[in-house]
Amino acid sequence: MAKKKVKIDHSACIGCGCCVGSFPEDFQFNDAGLAEPVTGEAEAEAADLCPVGAISVEE
């Protein structure tokens, strides 16, 4: 699948790791323990995995 541009709302992120665990090539934890996109692009399905809706996908 084609990757899409993604953003993470750090005020909503709880650092649960769903995105990092499911898409380790696309997400990593920052020093604060919150998710960060590695390249700014990820599989769109990552947004569906986030339990708090912190990941947004630009269409």
Total domain count for the chain?
1
Instruction: Give the separation between CA 21 and CA 58, rounded to whole angstroms.
Output: 22
Instruction: Give the separation between CA 59 and CA 6, rounded to whole angstroms.
Output: 9
Are 28 and 36 in contact by the 8 Å Cβ rule? The answer is yes
Please report, for the domain that includes residue 54, its CATH number. 3.30.70.20
pLDDT in tens, the chain (59 residues): 689 999 999 999 999 999 999 999 999 999 999 999 999 999 989 999 999 999 999 87
Q: Could you tell me the pTM of the whole model?
A: 0.89
Q: Which domain holds residue 54?
A: 4-58
Apex 31 CA angle, 4 and 49, nearest 5: 40
Q: What are phi and psi of 58, to 5 degrees?
A: -90, 125
Residues in the chain: 59
